[in-house]
Amino acid sequence: MKKIVLLFVLALCYNVSHAQFGKMLKKKAKAAVEKKLDKKESSNSSSKSENASGMVGSSSTENSSKTEYTDEEFKAELAKKYPNDQAKQDLYYQKYLEKKQQEAEANKPKSANSVSDEFLYMSYPFAMTKGMSAVGVDRVKIRRQMTDMGDNVDILPAQDPDYAWLRFLTTPELVAMSPEGYIGYELVSGMFTTKVGADRSQTLELGTGMPILVRGMLIADDVFVIYAASHQGGHAFNVPSYMHENDITILNVIGKGEQQFHVEWLEKAKPIVKEFEATLKANYDAAAKSTMDAIKMPKAGSMNSNASLVSFAKENVSKTIAKDGAKLLKLNIESNDWSIVKNKYTGRILYRWIKGAFTEKNKNNDCYLQGFLIKQQYNGSGYGSSQFGGVIHGQMPYGQKMNCE
């Protein structure tokens, strides 16, 4: 019996010790595996010397910070890496500069291009034509932004707030001549239909390329006035045209939805836009005067001493321009001698001519410099009587407006 108990105790001790030994083996194996994995991970994270573009790499671990190079330092690194390949150095340096430029553009602060984020109300609805259909627009957004052309304001309809329906553009000249605190714009893209007249019973289609000019005035970030009128100039003399004051009509005010706001601004806007157009007119008149002052009567030539020819010219010019209500002011024959015209094939003389200049005042009391011709036909042995060759058209300097004084 004692032997049996002793054997049982020995077996129990063996099992316990074997189990403990197994646990020890598992722990050692686990530790060995973890050590191997750590070593592999460390090896992987330390390997990196060149990026995909062929440029010099800069990081040794995933979390390490990127080395910043100056342009000269980057060139030096490329020279070390590719000492015998100048083409590759140039290629990678160019890629480096392009990437640097892209990063600079990406990091630029975005300019605010939105004047209003909420929909604003129009005093009166405009009809917008898009495709084959027309819809009434009474709520819009105003977007102000800089484009290649300059500072512009886009009117975005509520029906399609991504669509630049009407675009107004300003120029440095318009800004300089705008009333203080406001900015004047000119419609450069888009069309619309509106009601005009005291009882708003007349329908009028307006847009670019039409006789009636449409402009806008930015009163505040969320207030924009649209007005129209007949105009003078069409950017003649390289300055903006101006609207005729008595013809100016305020078509719309874009702003908040309070009725009283629109009632007030439909009236308050009138003197503001009239002041703007008056400034544009003064600028236009000054440019026109400067240009007209430069137009001078051409000097008289030797043929001007022929009293018979001068008398003939004055008589015929006066009769011709009188048909349009103009009066002759002054006349000179410019030619020093006759110019002979021959047949280009036979060389036979056909006729001879002289030219002259005159100034006239038309029925609007505007003065112009004009030219004329006198011809004499060849009859085989000599020249016949003088014939009036008419007023010269389409040839500078004739046809230009000039200072009557």
Model pLDDT for residues 64-102, shown as the tens digit of each residue: 444 567 888 888 888 888 888 888 888 888 888 878 777
Domain co-membership, 161 together with 236:
yes
What is the pLDDT confidence band of residue 235, given thresholds at 50, 70 and 90?
Answer: low
Two structure tokens written together for 364 = 């609007």
Q: What is the largest CA-CA distance in the chain?
A: 173
Instruction: Specify if 269 maps to a domain.
Output: yes
Domain co-membership, 190 together with 77:
no
Instruction: Specify if 249 maps to a domain.
Output: yes
Question: For residue 236, what pLDDT is reported?
Answer: 66
Domain co-membership, 282 together with 138:
yes
What is the pLDDT confidence band of residue 378, given thresholds at 50, 70 and 90?
Answer: very high
Domain co-membership, 336 together with 240:
no
Domain co-membership, 269 together with 146:
yes
In total, how many domains does the chain have? Answer: 3
Given a cut of 90, whether residue 111 has pLDDT beyond it is no
User: Mean of the pLDDT values across residues 258-283?
Assistant: 94
Domain end position, chosen among 58, 84, 106:
106
Q: Which of 113-122, 243-252, 364-373 has the lowest mean pLDDT?
A: 113-122
What is the pLDDT confidence band of residue 166, given thresholds at 50, 70 and 90?
Answer: very high
115-133 burial, b if ≥16 CB within 10 A, otherwise e? Answer: bbeeebbbbbbbebeeeee
Q: Is 196 helix (H, G, I), strand (E, B) or coil?
A: strand
Instruction: Specify if 187 maps to a domain.
Output: yes
- Report the mean per-residue pLDDT for the chain: 82
* Torsion (CA) 110, 115, 116, 120 in degrees, nearest 10: -160
Domain co-membership, 280 together with 310:
no
| Cβ neighbours, 10 Å, residue 233 | 19
d(CA 230, CA 232): 7
What is the pLDDT confidence band of residue 29, given thresholds at 50, 70 and 90?
Answer: very low
Domain co-membership, 140 together with 214:
yes
Domain co-membership, 264 together with 130:
yes
User: Mean of the pLDDT values across residues 308-317?
Assistant: 97
Given a cut of 50, whether residue 114 has pLDDT beyond it is no
Instruction: Specify if 358 maps to a domain.
Output: yes
Cis peptide before 397 (omega within 30 of 0): yes
Domain co-membership, 170 together with 245:
yes
Domain co-membership, 87 together with 174:
no
Domain housing 90:
71-106
Q: Which of 57-71, 183-197, 233-247, 265-279 has the lowest mean pLDDT?
A: 57-71
User: Mean of the pLDDT values across residues 147-153?
Assistant: 87
Instruction: Specify if 20 maps to a domain.
Output: no
Question: For residue 244, what pLDDT is reported?
Answer: 94
User: Mean of the pLDDT values across residues 218-238?
Assistant: 88
Instruction: Specify if 366 maps to a domain.
Output: yes
Domain end position, chosen among 293, 324, 343:
293
Domain co-membership, 179 together with 288:
yes
Question: For residue 74, what pLDDT is reported?
Answer: 82
Given a cut of 50, whether residue 2 has pLDDT beyond it is no
194-227 burial, b if ≥16 CB within 10 A, otherwise e? Answer: beeeeeeeeeeebeeeeeebbbbbbbeebbbbbb
pTM score above 0.85: no
Given a cut of 80, whether residue 22 has pLDDT beyond it is no
d(CA 172, CA 224): 19
Domain co-membership, 286 together with 269:
yes
Instruction: Specify if 315 maps to a domain.
Output: yes
Instruction: Specify if 65 maps to a domain.
Output: no
Domain end position, chosen among 84, 106, 128:
106
